[in-house]
Structure 1
Amino acid sequence: MKQHRFNHWSEIKYLKDIVTNPMIEVGEYSYYSGYYDNHDFEDGCVRYLWGDDKSRKLFNPIEDHGWHLDKLLIGNYVCIASGVIILMGGNHNHHSEWITVYPFVEQIETSYEPKGDTIIESDAWIGMNAMIMPGVTIGEGAIVAAGSVVVKDVPPYTIVGGNPAKEIKKRFSDIEIEKLKEMRWFDWEREKIERAIPILSSSSINQLYDFYQREIKP
């Protein structure tokens, strides 16, 4: 029986501390909260992505077949809840336009099709048991509701939900979103972010913009 990887539901693990797969790139302070799922981030949350220790020992599709493998790119301050599934590019050998969708071994080398990198931009929140399909980009500050299946790109600062996930609402006005996209607070030096935490933990985008113009932009 596997030892539980989290001691309590409130425990998080920073991805920078646990990711070893070279096909996964993660930013600062992004975390996985996987207590209820009892899976490793790289072997449960992220699925079908070559590059973990075991798959590297078994085969190398880049060298063996010349495949261009998709990557998982995660920005800064991303929140990933328990039960989230991020489907990746290890099994894109099923062709709906062929007579059979069965991946015959004889056709594996030529049947693979990359879907494109999966990108979760900074400050996004992926809710419990959501599923992210291959090649999707989730914009900065976006929220994916629990249990959603994301099959297409999610715009910045947008809340989506359902199966397939659809827009529920924008988090802020268009003008406010443009200011947030300009400021990119999650890329600031940590010391500046810590000073701005009281503003970041409020709804005052104008106040944050004043801080940005005074402390960051000069």
Structure 2
Amino acid sequence: MPLLDATATHPITLPDGTLYRDTVYLKNVISHPRMEIGEYSYFTHCGKPEDTAEILAPYLGHSVRERLVIGKFVQIARGSYFITSSANHPMTGFTTYPFRIFKPETFGYKDLPVKDTVVGHDVWIGHDAAIMPGVQIGAGAIVAAASVVARDVPPYAVVGGNPATVIRMRYSPEIISALLDIAWWDWPVEKIETNLAFLETGDLAALKMA
């Protein structure tokens, strides 16, 4: 029996057989025109599955210009959320008060710049992290708990703090380049599970041969 079921709503079953309902596969509970989500990416929260999109990205409306793009195998811990560009206030004048949102005919700031927020594959976002508008997080990165990510994060970096800065790189540039070339997240799930021991132990030579 495979470890992963791409069709599951709640992918975790505890050793006693209890279905753990706080964790959901995002792709299977979110239907949002401005979100793109890869398979096996999960989020843990206490809300209803149908409320997941609003909990994860509370300011991302259905008619906004920006997108939230989340890759495959992303792990998002409880309390984390995305503040997308639609939450921005105008900052080019002498006031940041959003006067236009209080009348339907002027609602929104179509002239404000927007940028997609993109999370790469196999990213781990720790408890209570906040991801700010337009941030790009590279594959394999780790975001420490309670961090505020206000700038782009390189692949396989460990970042933390407010604002989050690079604490260290997980691997050397040569290994990072090799892992990005291997792109195991694009393999069929059967191949991933066959080579799981190499992924878990960091056997790069074996992964190259897989």
The TM-score bracket by the shorter chain reads 0.7 to 0.9
1:14-37 superposed Cα distances (whole Å, 9 cap, x missing partner): 0111011111010110101114x7
What is the TM-score normalised by the length of structure 2? 0.82
CA 1:8–1:168: 2 relative to 1, 3 Å: farther
1:57-136 aligned within 5 A? 60=63, 69-92=65-88, 94-105=89-100, 108-110=107-109, 112-136=111-135
Deviation at 1:206, TM superposition (A): 2.2
After TM superposition, the score normalised by the length of structure 1 is: 0.79
Where structure 1 has 5 or more consecutive residues not aligned to the other structure, the ranges are: 52-59, 62-68, 212-218
Task: Identify if the C-alpha distance between structure 1 residues 174 and 46 changes in structure 2 by more than 3 Å, giving closer, same or farther.
Answer: same
Task: Tell me, in whole angstroms, the C-alpha distance in 2 between the residues paired with 1:176 and 1:10.
Answer: 36
Structure 2 unaligned regions, length at least 5: 1-9, 11-17
* Partner Cα distance (1:9, 1:118) in 2: 29
Secondary structure, aligned partner of 1:119: strand
Matches within 5 A, 1:1-218: 11-35=22-46, 40-51=51-62, 60=63, 69-92=65-88, 94-105=89-100, 108-110=107-109, 112-211=111-210
Q: Is the 8 A contact 1:70 1:114 kept in 2?
A: no
Return the letter of the residue paired with 2:33: P
Distance 2:122 2:164 in 1: 19
State the identity %.
39
Q: For this pair of structures, how many residues does the alignment match? A: 190
Inter-partner Cα distance in structure 2 for 1:90 and 1:134:
8
Q: Does the CA-based 8 Å contact 1:84-1:131 persist in structure 2?
A: yes
User: Residue 125 and residue 82 in structure 1: after superposition, are their counterparts in 2 closer, same or farther (change >3 A)?
Assistant: same
Instruction: Give the letter for the 2:128 counterpart.
Output: N
Deviation for aligned residue 1:210:
2.3
- Aligned counterparts of 2:132 and 2:156: Cα–Cα separation in 1: 19
Q: Give the superposition deviation at 1:209.
A: 1.6
1:194 Cα offset (Å): 1.2
Distance 1:83 1:147 in 2: 9
- What is the aligned partner in structure 2 of residue 55 from structure 1? none
1:203–1:25: structure 2 CA closer, same or farther, 3 Å change rule? same
